[in-house]
A = this chain, B = another copy of it.
């Protein structure tokens, strides 16, 4: 064969990353297979050597994107987790969905997808819950924080005015700081999110 299996794996991964970025920015349903393939320098005919259908790509993107989000929230100090939350609730994250978390972008489309895609989503979301629990104390608080940051970023993106967006983000940030246990030495409320901060992941 002219192409190695390693090459196929690399192409598939590039498709997941580039496709995920496009889906987060422009929506998955409204983006054609042609555009997705063009983003990795290929044509639409080659798509079906990697995925059985467009829906199968969405499923793989969900798995890939949320897998990365779990890595970001797990395995880090309390202070770094606070920093991650601060970045999540930043204007930079709101303005650059293609670099950020998939949850505020793709959840409604996943909700309309098939049963198996929703099962993959659910499994990943429960893993995210586990990864965050050590930092929050209990499941109830964790679900509250996750719902809150996802909802806030999504609503901020649908707004138009920068100050309104910032007001929402700062308000939610404040409430979450009140919710978190003050265990670490860095548990004080920081609100200087005006500095240049990278989005939630993909550093």
Partner pick for A171 among B119, B139, B179, CB 8 A cutoff: B139
Which residues of A151-179 have CB atoms within 8 Å of chain B's CB atoms?
151-152, 154-155, 157-161, 164, 167-168, 171-172, 174-176, 179
A97 partner residues in chain B, CB cutoff 8 A: 111
Residues of chain B within 8 A (CB-CB) of A96 are none
How far apart are A74's CB and chain B's nearest CB, in angstroms? 18
Residues of B within 8 A of A104 (CB): 108, 151
How distant is the Cα of A105 from the Cα of B104 in the complex, in angstroms? 11
List residues 74-103 of chain A with CB under 8 A from any CB of chain B.
Answer: 97, 103
Chain-B contact segment, one of A5-13, A24-32, A192-200 = A24-32
**Contact A140 to B174, CB < 8 A, known contacts A121-B159, A148-B151, A155-B125:** yes
Chain A, 107-159, CB within 8 A of any chain B CB: 107-112, 115, 118-119, 121-122, 125-126, 139-144, 146-152, 154-155, 157-159
Complex contacts, A108 vs chain B, CB 8 Å: 27, 104-109, 154, 157-158
Let me know if A160 and B115 touch, CB within 8 A. Answer: yes
Whole-angstrom distance between the alpha carbons of A27 and B141 in the complex?
31
A160 CB contacts on chain B under 8 angstroms: 115, 118-119, 121-122
In whole angstroms, how far apart are the Cα atoms of A118 and B26 in the complex? Answer: 16
* Interface contact B110-A164, CB-CB below 8 Å: no
Q: Which residues of B contact A171 (CB under 8 A)?
A: 139-140, 142-144
Q: Which of B141, B164, B167 contacts A175 (CB 8 A)?
A: B141
Chain B residues with CB below 8 A from A126, complex form: 164
Contact B159 A125 (CB under 8 A): yes
